[in-house]
């Protein structure tokens, strides 16, 4: 019955609710002793019916529902496919320009946050101020087409190989609808992909999931030190600062307010999610502040999650290098920040950034925590394989991955040490 209701035309659902509310008001008048048809009672019934429909419409009760299957689940759910409220804001009119490090230093503060991509030997940084208003960037990395995206509402950075089953490329555009507050990005044909998980939920590609490639969110200074030859998306033509800074700092869970179903974290606590071979786990930034090195097996894969506090950067890597499983310990100081995740431009800026380095106990080699690059020792020149770590606000992650494990729940945390 519930599925039948969700698949009904939204206007028909609205009409049925109106009729039920109207009938109930008239029945109330009847049992109270008013047997005659009174125009005032009819008007009141119309008023109550209209008010109920309006209230439920604002809540999204009559939104179009789309069927899809959550990651690692089997049951099909019908979730709200909600249109963006208000007037659509136009994006920058000109294509994005990419600049070198020296020019980027003229546009960015050291602590401005960027989405970083290293793929096919090429590195590029996408400032949140630039990518936040564009939403997507369709790129070529070598011979591969990829799409880089950023959702400020769910605080999720994603990059995907822009290929589907028949080998054709997809181009993703700015969204007009959301699912669980995650942008539903239309392609150049008739399909729509949910940004949080890369899965098509409408059109001829429904059910197809784009292959993710690793990305991180970090600071400009941390990224450029790890990847000095990087290209950078210019903020020219858009805002100089991230326009969503106030949203990051307030308590609103999305454009369409969505309380987390799992109360182990607050709605806007940031997590790094990892999904390997169907086994998913989220690592809260708050938990990683206390324990910046987490080593375990996930999906039968030895992994390490590292958190560089100075840049509020979390990344997950495979611990296996050349067939050997490594264990790590910190090599230099990993200083505390004042917040679990600095999202605003310039917030908590550190004038003397020093990268956090870790050391493996098997060979004594030294590795960058941000990039997984070995810079000293027997394994110099090697790189830890970065995994598809998925950042996101907890209210969104807990909806898309409702049965996933969690590291760093609020009740598990000790009082964080002061700086």
CATH of the domain at 208: 2.102.10
The Cα 181–Cα 402 span in angstroms is: 15
Q: Are residues 41 and 117 in the same domain?
A: no
The pLDDT assigned to 275 comes to: 97
pLDDT band, residue 52 (cuts 50/70/90): confident
The pLDDT assigned to 60 comes to: 66
What are 359-378's pLDDT values in tens digits?
Answer: 999 999 999 999 999 999 99
pLDDT band, residue 86 (cuts 50/70/90): low
Q: Which of 46-60, 241-255, 355-369 has the lowest mean pLDDT?
A: 46-60
Q: What H or E segment, with its residue span, contains residue 282?
A: strand 279-284
The pLDDT assigned to 350 comes to: 52
Q: Are residues 262 and 332 in the same domain?
A: yes
Mean pLDDT value of segment 18-25: 79
The Cα 208–Cα 231 span in angstroms is: 31
Mean pLDDT value of segment 322-349: 72
Position 39 pLDDT exceeds 90: no
Position 417 pLDDT exceeds 50: no
Which of 170, 187, 218 is the endpoint of a domain?
Answer: 218
What are 306-318's pLDDT values in tens digits?
Answer: 999 999 999 999 9
Q: Enter the tokens of residue 53.
A: 């429909």
Return phi, psi of residue 228, to 5°. Answer: -65, -20
Which residues, 6 or more positions from 344, have their beta carbon under 8 angstroms from its beta carbon? Answer: 242, 245, 248, 249
What's the total number of domains in the chain? 3
The answer to whether residue 88 is domain-embedded is: no
Contact 304, 310 (CB under 8 A): no
Mean pLDDT value of segment 25-45: 74
Q: Are residues 36 and 103 in the same domain?
A: no
The answer to whether residue 146 is domain-embedded is: yes
What percent of the chain is predicted at pLDDT more than 90?
61
The pLDDT assigned to 27 comes to: 72
The answer to whether residue 237 is domain-embedded is: no
Q: What is the pTM of this model?
A: 0.85
Which residues, 6 or more positions from 83, have their beta carbon under 8 angstroms from its beta carbon? Answer: 63, 176, 177
What are 94-141's pLDDT values in tens digits?
Answer: 678 999 999 999 999 999 999 999 999 999 999 999 998 899 999 999
The pLDDT assigned to 87 comes to: 60
Q: Are residues 41 and 130 in the same domain?
A: no
Q: Are residues 102 and 58 in the same domain?
A: no
The answer to whether residue 224 is domain-embedded is: no
The pLDDT assigned to 38 comes to: 75
Q: Which domain holds residue 294?
A: 258-412
Q: Which of 63-77, 195-209, 281-295, 296-310 has the lowest mean pLDDT?
A: 63-77
For 232-255, give the DSSP string.
EE--TTS-SS-TTHHHHHSS--TT
Q: Are residues 204 and 345 in the same domain?
A: no
CA-to-CA dists, residue 265 to 192, 219, 283, angstroms? 30, 24, 11
The pLDDT assigned to 256 comes to: 82
Position 42 pLDDT exceeds 90: no
Q: Are residues 163 and 269 in the same domain?
A: no
The answer to whether residue 16 is domain-embedded is: yes
The answer to whether residue 267 is domain-embedded is: yes
The answer to whether residue 68 is domain-embedded is: no
pLDDT band, residue 344 (cuts 50/70/90): very low
Mean pLDDT value of segment 180-187: 94
The pLDDT assigned to 236 comes to: 85
The pLDDT assigned to 347 comes to: 46
Position 3 pLDDT exceeds 90: no
Which of 40, 62, 84 is the endpoint of a domain?
Answer: 62
For residues 10 and 25, the model is more confident at 25
Residue 382: half-sphere exposure toward Cβ, Cα within 13 Å: 21
The answer to whether residue 72 is domain-embedded is: no
């Amino acid at each position: 019955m519930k599925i039948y209701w969700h698949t009904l035309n939204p206007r028909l659902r609205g009409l049925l609710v109106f009729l039920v509310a109207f009938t109930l008001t008239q029945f109330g008048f009847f049992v109270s002793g008013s047997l005659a048809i009174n125009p005032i009672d009819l008007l009141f019934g119309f008023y109550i019916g209209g008010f109920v429909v309006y209230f439920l419409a604002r809540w999204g009760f009559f939104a179009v529902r789309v069927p899809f299957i959550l990651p690692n689940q089997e049951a099909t759910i019908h979730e709200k496919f909600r249109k963006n409220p208000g007037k659509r804001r136009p994006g920058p009119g000109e294509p994005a320009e990419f600049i070198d490090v020296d020019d980027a230093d003229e546009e960015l503060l050291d602590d401005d946050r960027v989405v970083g991509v290293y793929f096919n030997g090429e590195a590029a940084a996408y400032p949140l101020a630039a990518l936040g208003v564009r939403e997507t960037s369709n790129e070529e990395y070598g011979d591969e087409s990829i799409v880089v995206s950023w959702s400020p509402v769910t605080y999720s950075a994603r990059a995907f190989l822009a290929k589907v089953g028949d080998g054709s490329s997809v181009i993703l555009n700015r969204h007009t609808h959301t699912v669980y507050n995650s942008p539903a990005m239309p392609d150049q044909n008739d399909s729509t992909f949910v940004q949080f998980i890369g899965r098509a939920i409408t059109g001829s590609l429904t059910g197809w999931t784009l292959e993710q490639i690793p990305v991180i969110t970090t600071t400009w200074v941390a990224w450029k030190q790890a990847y000095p030859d990087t290209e950078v998306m210019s903020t020219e033509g858009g805002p100089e600062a991230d326009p969503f800074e106030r949203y990051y700092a307030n308590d609103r869970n999305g454009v369409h307010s969505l309380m987390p179903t799992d109360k182990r974290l607050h709605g806007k606590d940031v997590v790094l999610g990892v999904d390997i071979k169907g086994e998913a786990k989220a690592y809260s930034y708050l938990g990683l502040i206390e324990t910046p090195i987490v080593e375990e097996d996930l999906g039968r894969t030895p992994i390490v999650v590292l958190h560089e506090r100075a840049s509020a950067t979390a990344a997950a890597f495979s611990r296996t290098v050349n067939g050997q499983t490594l264990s790590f310990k910190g090599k230099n100081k990993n200083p505390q920040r004042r917040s679990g995740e600095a999202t605003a431009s310039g917030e908590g800026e550190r004038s003397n950034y020093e990268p956090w380095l870790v050391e493996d106990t098997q060979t004594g080699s030294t590795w960058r925590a941000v990039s997984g690059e070995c810079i000293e020792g027997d394994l110099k020149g090697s790189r830890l394989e970065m995994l598809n770590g998925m950042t996101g606000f907890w209210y969104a992650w807990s909806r898309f991955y409702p049965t996933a494990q969690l590291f760093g729940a609020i009740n598990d945390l000790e009082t964080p040490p002061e700086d």
